[in-house]
């Protein structure tokens, strides 16, 4: 291994921190730097709790990384120079690298539907949540995926004074088993969440939503949880990407540039059956760690073994006292095994705490 080989990890989410943690062990002679615009590690999977007024952990990234001898640079990345191997930062400075691990994650898509950017709030980052001031009256949560379900349930449990509506083109949890979907509906009924399934939102206005069939759902606050967007830095740098800007990688998470690896939400990662892995903490953590393993192997002059990956379950919290744990096959196909109720809530909390420990260097 070349002494002082410079490895830069872009992003301090689950994938980026998992990569940095593994690199500190497997590439001890390398100089490892993590770059992120945020100063603190905030668990993204707890943001719906913060929205409901709960306190969630904040940990200073500089302290967490420094304990393992990893340099932290708080900055916004504005460009990737592949020829000179320099990372341009918003303050006008730059940072050199020999190997780059791209793990910038994803954020909310606020431009695909009219009015979202101007009139809706998102819950993709802590900054998004902090911009939601006072919640009152009727709140429309758009999106029947995991974030929408968890947000609607958390708010309904913590704020019974609110009228919560969950609006989505499909049934909440449509990808889950019938048993899991039935339980989600039962919890929403108990919490008083009004479900509008089969409703495609085409516009957000100052007073609510307009659907494709011309219907109107009034709301004082709209929370947008459907769709995602990734930074366009990879595309701008000329890396091979998909139509959304996610980096295309091989079975060792290497991009079209042999000096650039990618993991987590910002990469298109082939799964066990050829289907791409889903965007989730359950994907980000192991792919971040594997990217580090692949980088370390290359530095030793070895060819890394292909990524071996399997899923175990989907975890959804439904407030603090209920949840759904949907067990899956290795290829993420649903099984009939489901945990619900307080047992599922306890299980989900253990998983979240475990993910936080794994991500911390």
pLDDT tens per residue across span 5-22: 999 999 999 999 999 999
- Cα 222 to Cα 234: distance, rounded to the nearest angstrom: 31
11's tokens: 């992003």
Mean pLDDT of the chain: 94
Length of the chain: 361
Alpha helices in 159-299 (DSSP H): 178-191, 233-236, 281-299
pLDDT tens, 44-70?
Answer: 999 999 999 999 988 999 999 999 999
CB 334 within 8 A of CB 325: no
| Angle, alpha carbons 216-149-217 (nearest 5°) | 5
Task: Give the pLDDT band of residue 356 (cuts 50, 70, 90).
Answer: confident
List the one residue out of 76, 109, 122 whose CA is nearest residue 229.
109
In the prediction, which pLDDT does 123 show?
94
- Cα 48 to Cα 317: distance, rounded to the nearest angstrom: 10
**Residue 203 burial (CB < 10 Å; 0-12/13-18/19+)?**
middle
In the prediction, which pLDDT does 2 show?
52
Summarize the confidence of residues 226-242 as an average pLDDT: 96
CB-based contacts of 213-218 (< 8 A; 24+ apart in sequence)? 217/140, 217/165, 217/167, 218/138
**Residue 68 burial (CB < 10 Å; 0-12/13-18/19+)?**
middle
103's tokens: 């793990």
Contacting residues for 342 by C-beta, under 8 A, at least 6 apart: 321, 322
In the chain, the domains with their CATH numbers are: 6-106+230-300 (3.50.50.60), 108-227+311-359 (3.50.50.100)
pTM of the model: 0.94
CB 97 within 8 A of CB 31: no
Summarize the confidence of residues 131-136 as an average pLDDT: 87
pLDDT tens, 272-324?
Answer: 777 889 988 889 999 999 999 999 999 999 999 888 888 999 999 999 999 99
Query: φ and ψ at 180, to 5 degrees?
Result: -65, -45
Helix (H, G, I), strand (E, B) or coil at 221: strand
187's tokens: 């919890």
Cα torsion 142, 164, 145, 143 to 10°: value is -10
In the prediction, which pLDDT does 3 show?
58
């Amino acid at each position: 291994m070349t002494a002082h080989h410079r490895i830069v990890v872009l992003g301090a989410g689950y994938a980026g921190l998992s990569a940095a943690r593994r690199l500190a062990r497997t590439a001890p002679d390398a100089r490892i730097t993590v770059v992120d615009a945020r100063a603190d590690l905030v668990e993204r999977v707890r943001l719906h709790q913060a929205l409901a007024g709960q306190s969630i952990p904040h940990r200073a990234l500089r302290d967490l990384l420094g304990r393992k001898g990893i340099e932290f640079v708080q900055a916004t990345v504005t460009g990737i120079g592949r020829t000179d191997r320099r990372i341009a930062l918003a303050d006008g400075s730059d940072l050199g690298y020999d190997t780059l691990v791209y793990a910038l994650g994803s954020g909310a898509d606020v431009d695909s539907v009219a009015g979202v950017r101007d009139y809706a709030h998102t819950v993709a980052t802590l900054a998004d949540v902090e911009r939601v001031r006072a919640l009152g009256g009727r709140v429309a949560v758009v999106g029947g995926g995991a974030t929408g379900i968890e947000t609607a349930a958390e708010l309904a449990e913590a704020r019974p004074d609110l009228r919560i509506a969950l609006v989505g083109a499909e049934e909440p949890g449509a990808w889950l088993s019938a048993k899991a979907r039935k339980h989600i509906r039962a919890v929403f009924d108990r919490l008083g969440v009004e479900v509008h399934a089969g409703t495609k939102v085409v516009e957000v206005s100052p007073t609510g939503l307009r659907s494709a069939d011309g219907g109107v759902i009034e709301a004082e606050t709209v929370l947008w949880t459907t769709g995602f967007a990734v930074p366009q830095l990879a595309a701008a740098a000329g890396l091979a990407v998909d139509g959304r800007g996610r980096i295309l990688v091989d079975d060792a998470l290497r991009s079209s540039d042999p000096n650039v690896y990618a993991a987590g939400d910002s990469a298109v990662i082939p799964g066990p059956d050829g289907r791409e892995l889903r965007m989730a903490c359950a994907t980000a953590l192991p792919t971040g760690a594997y990217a580090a393993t692949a980088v370390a192997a290359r530095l030793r002059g070895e060819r890394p073994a292909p990524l071996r990956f399997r899923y175990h379950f989907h975890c959804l919290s439904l407030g603090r006292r209920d949840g759904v744990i949907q067990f899956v096959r290795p290829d993420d196909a649903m099984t009939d095994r489901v945990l619900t109720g307080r047992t599922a809530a306890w299980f989900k909390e253990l998983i979240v705490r475990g993910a936080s420990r794994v991500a911390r260097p």
